[in-house]
Amino acid sequence: MIQLTLKNIEDGLNPISFYLNIYNEYNEGQTTGRSLCTFTSQFTGKSKTVSLNTLYGSHTTRYIEFGLRTTRLLSEEDLLNANIQLGTKDFPLGFYDAIIYNNTDNLNLDTTGLPVVWNGLMNLTINPSSRQAVDYTEYNENDNYVNIINLTNPL
Protein backbone atom coordinates (compact mmCIF):
# COMPACT_ATOMS: atom_id res chain seq x y z
CA MET A 1 0.00 0.00 0.00
CA ILE A 2 1.16 3.53 -0.81
CA GLN A 3 0.71 6.15 1.91
CA LEU A 4 0.42 9.80 0.80
CA THR A 5 -0.02 12.75 3.15
CA LEU A 6 -1.24 16.28 2.56
CA LYS A 7 -0.15 19.48 4.26
CA ASN A 8 -2.07 22.71 4.79
CA ILE A 9 -2.90 24.71 1.68
CA GLU A 10 -0.44 27.44 2.61
CA ASP A 11 2.41 24.92 3.10
CA GLY A 12 2.84 24.37 -0.65
CA LEU A 13 4.20 21.23 -2.29
CA ASN A 14 4.81 18.16 -0.12
CA PRO A 15 7.54 15.84 -1.53
CA ILE A 16 6.89 12.12 -0.93
CA SER A 17 8.92 9.04 -1.83
CA PHE A 18 7.74 5.45 -1.77
CA TYR A 19 9.48 2.20 -2.62
CA LEU A 20 8.15 -0.91 -4.35
CA ASN A 21 9.92 -4.20 -5.02
CA ILE A 22 8.81 -4.41 -8.66
CA TYR A 23 11.96 -3.97 -10.77
CA ASN A 24 11.50 -7.47 -12.21
CA GLU A 25 8.31 -6.15 -13.86
CA TYR A 26 10.31 -3.63 -15.93
CA ASN A 27 12.32 -4.28 -19.08
CA GLU A 28 15.61 -6.00 -18.29
CA GLY A 29 18.32 -3.39 -17.77
CA GLN A 30 15.90 -0.46 -17.96
CA THR A 31 17.37 2.67 -16.35
CA THR A 32 15.24 5.49 -17.79
CA GLY A 33 11.60 6.48 -18.09
CA ARG A 34 9.09 8.12 -15.77
CA SER A 35 6.49 5.60 -14.66
CA LEU A 36 2.85 6.67 -14.76
CA CYS A 37 0.47 6.16 -11.85
CA THR A 38 -3.31 6.40 -12.05
CA PHE A 39 -5.10 7.08 -8.78
CA THR A 40 -8.85 6.36 -8.69
CA SER A 41 -10.79 7.53 -5.64
CA GLN A 42 -12.83 4.70 -4.14
CA PHE A 43 -15.23 7.35 -2.81
CA THR A 44 -15.91 9.43 -5.93
CA GLY A 45 -14.72 7.09 -8.71
CA LYS A 46 -12.71 9.91 -10.32
CA SER A 47 -9.22 9.23 -11.69
CA LYS A 48 -6.04 11.20 -12.22
CA THR A 49 -2.77 10.06 -13.84
CA VAL A 50 0.58 11.51 -12.77
CA SER A 51 4.09 11.00 -14.13
CA LEU A 52 6.22 9.76 -11.22
CA ASN A 53 9.86 10.56 -10.60
CA THR A 54 11.26 7.04 -11.10
CA LEU A 55 14.69 6.50 -9.59
CA TYR A 56 16.67 3.55 -10.91
CA GLY A 57 20.03 2.73 -9.36
CA SER A 58 22.18 0.03 -7.84
CA HIS A 59 19.31 -0.88 -5.52
CA THR A 60 16.97 -1.84 -8.38
CA THR A 61 17.50 -5.54 -7.82
CA ARG A 62 15.57 -4.96 -4.61
CA TYR A 63 13.25 -2.00 -5.27
CA ILE A 64 12.51 1.11 -7.30
CA GLU A 65 12.06 4.50 -5.66
CA PHE A 66 9.15 6.64 -6.84
CA GLY A 67 8.62 10.28 -6.00
CA LEU A 68 5.88 12.87 -6.33
CA ARG A 69 4.69 16.04 -4.65
CA THR A 70 1.19 16.52 -3.28
CA THR A 71 -0.50 19.90 -3.25
CA ARG A 72 -3.88 21.28 -2.31
CA LEU A 73 -3.73 24.11 -4.90
CA LEU A 74 -4.78 23.66 -8.53
CA SER A 75 -2.27 26.34 -9.58
CA GLU A 76 0.61 24.11 -8.38
CA GLU A 77 -0.60 20.95 -10.14
CA ASP A 78 1.70 19.76 -12.95
CA LEU A 79 0.99 16.08 -13.63
CA LEU A 80 3.89 15.75 -16.09
CA ASN A 81 6.36 16.90 -13.41
CA ALA A 82 4.97 14.77 -10.54
CA ASN A 83 2.90 17.52 -8.84
CA ILE A 84 -0.62 16.25 -8.08
CA GLN A 85 -3.50 18.13 -6.47
CA LEU A 86 -5.37 15.99 -3.94
CA GLY A 87 -7.61 16.68 -0.96
CA THR A 88 -10.45 18.23 -2.95
CA LYS A 89 -14.15 17.41 -3.34
CA ASP A 90 -13.38 15.18 -6.34
CA PHE A 91 -10.21 13.66 -4.81
CA PRO A 92 -10.89 13.51 -1.03
CA LEU A 93 -8.99 11.86 1.79
CA GLY A 94 -9.35 8.10 1.89
CA PHE A 95 -8.55 5.05 -0.19
CA TYR A 96 -7.61 5.01 -3.86
CA ASP A 97 -6.97 2.25 -6.36
CA ALA A 98 -3.45 2.76 -7.72
CA ILE A 99 -2.05 1.38 -10.97
CA ILE A 100 1.58 1.94 -11.98
CA TYR A 101 2.54 1.66 -15.65
CA ASN A 102 5.98 1.22 -17.21
CA ASN A 103 6.49 4.31 -19.34
CA THR A 104 9.68 5.00 -21.30
CA ASP A 105 8.54 8.38 -22.70
CA ASN A 106 9.09 11.23 -20.23
CA LEU A 107 6.53 13.47 -21.97
CA ASN A 108 3.64 10.98 -22.00
CA LEU A 109 0.58 10.96 -19.71
CA ASP A 110 -1.46 8.50 -21.78
CA THR A 111 -1.59 4.99 -20.28
CA THR A 112 -3.05 3.39 -23.41
CA GLY A 113 -1.03 0.31 -24.35
CA LEU A 114 1.45 0.62 -21.48
CA PRO A 115 2.24 -2.50 -19.43
CA VAL A 116 0.92 -2.53 -15.86
CA VAL A 117 3.74 -3.18 -13.37
CA TRP A 118 1.81 -2.78 -10.10
CA ASN A 119 -1.79 -2.79 -8.91
CA GLY A 120 -2.59 -1.82 -5.33
CA LEU A 121 -4.03 0.66 -2.86
CA MET A 122 -3.14 4.17 -1.85
CA ASN A 123 -4.29 5.82 1.39
CA LEU A 124 -4.49 9.61 1.38
CA THR A 125 -4.32 11.25 4.79
CA ILE A 126 -3.55 14.68 6.18
CA ASN A 127 -0.44 15.42 8.20
CA PRO A 128 -1.41 15.10 11.88
CA SER A 129 0.36 18.37 12.70
CA SER A 130 -1.82 20.15 10.14
CA ARG A 131 -5.24 21.54 10.83
CA GLN A 132 -8.31 19.36 10.66
CA ALA A 133 -9.22 18.39 7.12
CA VAL A 134 -12.90 19.06 7.83
CA ASP A 135 -14.66 21.88 9.69
CA TYR A 136 -17.20 20.30 12.00
CA THR A 137 -20.47 21.88 13.07
CA GLU A 138 -21.76 20.95 16.50
CA TYR A 139 -25.45 20.01 16.62
CA ASN A 140 -26.66 20.35 20.19
CA GLU A 141 -29.87 22.36 19.92
CA ASN A 142 -32.06 19.66 18.40
CA ASP A 143 -32.35 17.23 21.31
CA ASN A 144 -36.14 17.46 21.10
CA TYR A 145 -36.15 16.33 17.47
CA VAL A 146 -35.30 12.65 17.60
CA ASN A 147 -36.24 11.88 13.98
CA ILE A 148 -33.83 14.36 12.34
CA ILE A 149 -30.78 13.20 10.43
CA ASN A 150 -27.81 15.56 10.09
CA LEU A 151 -25.92 15.00 6.85
CA THR A 152 -22.22 15.56 7.38
CA ASN A 153 -20.92 14.52 3.96
CA PRO A 154 -21.53 17.31 1.39
CA LEU A 155 -21.33 14.97 -1.61
**pLDDT per position in the chain (155 positions), as tens?**
999 988 877 777 889 999 998 888 887 777 788 999 999 999 999 999 999 998 887 665 678 899 999 988 899 999 999 999 998 999 999 999 999 999 988 899 999 999 999 999 999 998 766 555 556 666 666 566 666 666 666 55
Question: What is the distance between the alpha carbons of residues 31 and 29, in angstroms, rounded to a whole number?
Answer: 6
Assign residue 87 the CATH number of its domain. 2.60.40.10
Report if residue 46 sits inside a domain. Answer: yes
Give residue 10's domain range: 2-126
Report if residue 20 sits inside a domain. Answer: yes
Report if residue 60 sits inside a domain. Answer: yes
What global pTM score does this model have?
Answer: 0.79
Question: What is the distance between the alpha carbons of residues 68 and 51, in angstroms, rounded to a whole number?
Answer: 8
Report if residue 66 sits inside a domain. Answer: yes
Domains contained in the chain, number? 1
Report if residue 38 sits inside a domain. Answer: yes
Report if residue 147 sits inside a domain. Answer: no
Contact 50, 43 (CB under 8 A): no
Q: How many helices (H) and strands (E) does the chain have?
A: 0, 9
Report if residue 142 sits inside a domain. Answer: no
